[in-house]
Amino acid sequence: KYVDTTLRRVTQQRYIHATRGRDYQNTPNVRWIVGFSGGKDMKSILKNLAMPGDLIWAVPFSQPDEMPWISCTNPDKIEAATREIESSDKVLVTKFASLADALARLAEEKSDTCMTVLCGSLYLVADLYRELQIDPFTRNMPRAIRSKVVALTKVKSNRKEGRKEIIRAVVEAADNYDYVWVFSVANMRNQYLKQVRHNFKTSRFFLGNNKVMAKALGNDPESEIKQNIHKISESLVGDVGLLFTNDNVETVKKNFDSFSAQDYPRAGNIAAYRVVVPGGEVLRGYTKEPFPNNMEPELRELGMPTLLQSGKITIESDFVICEKGDRLTPQQSRLLKHFWEKMAEFKVKLLCYWHNNGDFVELESNQNTTSKAKDDSASGEDSDEDME
């Protein structure tokens, strides 16, 4: 290591003494290949490095390109600085015309009891890289022990196997159930969908990639797995799912028609009605409950011109959160939630069904919307999740 400042010299000295000890007779000697740039305190550096019995090989380094202010110390000066240290009579100094000559001499040395250390200028280290043809920025450099590739997960994605599993499950369900329904969900919420699935405990729901489910049933009369079931595949357009059940048509319709739930709208939903906050103290809900005063910064951040007066949140005039028919922004949807306005309705709509006798029935409510849904359908559809 290159030792320059006083602190580094002391640290280097302590490190060498700790690793080599003071027993010079039994301590392996060190061959120091040294080269310095001009202006360095070579005597102090060599005094802390060299011990009795060590070898000093003084070498020059090549002049760096486009850096004329950098000068190399002549090996004669390194030899002279070594002679000035106390143990100079027990340190052998050898001068070389270049680093290449020193490396050639090193290759001829037969003794393996002497450790070789190259130190001094970083330009000397650069010469060593060039002589040994080592690129420090490629894999040719020795790999650090701590340089390990750590996998962040052991889970391997296998979409192909997942699709095969969905196809197998759909084909199996088509064999075990009498009816196959296609349904769509308005304002999807998992918590309400779980309630719907609870009402059909003996049935199976599939919400996933439409193309995968259509392939499982068959896209045309030649590839369909049951008579006329390819028409179900043709109806898998947009955000839809499949229901396999043995319940009769009236029972299924009654269950879906009777179930709906109100929830807060999300960004992108269409506002069902106009919402206005009257001027004065800001209240919410049918109970006209005031907001806690620590909510004022958040309401102001969402666009409301609020003021905090006497610990109460107020606005100077009426504030319109949304108009009927507006496509809600994230700020508007958050404000509606703060004001307890549940204008989104979760509702499952039945589109068509197929019976295992080959009958296919498209419900009247779906006939007017099928063509529009096909036009709006994107090529990339939902994930391959199988909700059973």
Q: What tokens were used for 217?
A: 């049933």
Provide the pLDDT for residue 319: 92
| CA dihedral for 293, 298, 302, 306, sign (positive or negative) | positive
8 A C-beta contact, residue 237 and residue 370: yes
CA–CA separation, 105 vs 125, rounded Å? 18
Q: Report residue 291: phi and psi, to 5°.
A: -75, 145
Is the distance from CB of 30 to CB of 24 less than 8 angstroms? no
Task: From 6, 9, 75, 5, select the one nearest 36 (Cα to Cα).
Answer: 75
The pLDDT of residue 3? 41
Give the pLDDT of residue 112.
Answer: 60
Q: Tell me the residue type at 183.
A: F
Let me know: does 275 contact 325? Beta carbons within 8 Å.
no
The pLDDT, as a whole number, for residue 8 is: 56
Residue 125's Cβ-side half-sphere holds a number of Cα atoms within 13 Å equal to 9
Averages of pLDDT over runs of 10 residues in the chain (388 residues) are: 48 58 57 88 83 86 85 89 78 89 83 77 87 66 58 68 87 91 87 85 88 90 90 89 91 87 88 91 87 90 90 91 92 92 88 91 65 44 41
Q: Which two tokens stand for residue 302?
A: 């969402």
The pTM of the full predicted model, rounded to 2 decimals, is: 0.49
**Strand 261-263, strand 344-355: pairing:** antiparallel
Give the 3-state DSSP-derived string for the chain, with helices as H, strands as E and coil as C: CCCCCHHHHHHHHHHHHHHHCCCCCCCCCEEEEEECECCCCHHHHHHHHCCCCCEEEECCCCCCCCCCCCCECCHHHHHHHHHCCCCHHHCEEEECCCHHHHHHHHHHCCCCCCEEEEEECHHHHHHHHHHHCCCCCCCCCCCCCCCCCCCCCCCCCCHHHHHHHHHHHHHHHHHHCCEEEEEEEECCCHHHHHHHHHHCCCCEEECCCHHHHHHHHCCCCCCCCCCCCHHHHHCCCCCEEEEEECCCHHHHHHHHHCCCEEECCCCCCECCCCEEECCEECEECCCCEECCHHHHHHHHHCCCCEEEECCEEEECCCEEEECCCCECCHHHHHHHHHCCCCCEEEEEEEEEEEECCCCEEECHHHHCCHHHHHHHCCCCCCCCCCCC
Closest listed residue to residue 35, CA positions, set 55, 59, 12, 57: 59
CB 314, CB 306: distance < 8 Å: yes
Round to whole Å and give the CA distance between 334 and 306. 16
Q: What is the pLDDT of residue 366?
A: 58
Q: Which two tokens stand for residue 249?
A: 């048509």
Q: Strands 179-186 and 319-322: what pairing?
A: unpaired
CA-nearest of 272, 274, 284 to 344 is: 272
The torsion angle over the Cα atoms of residues 146, 147, 148 and 149, rounded to 10 degrees, is 150
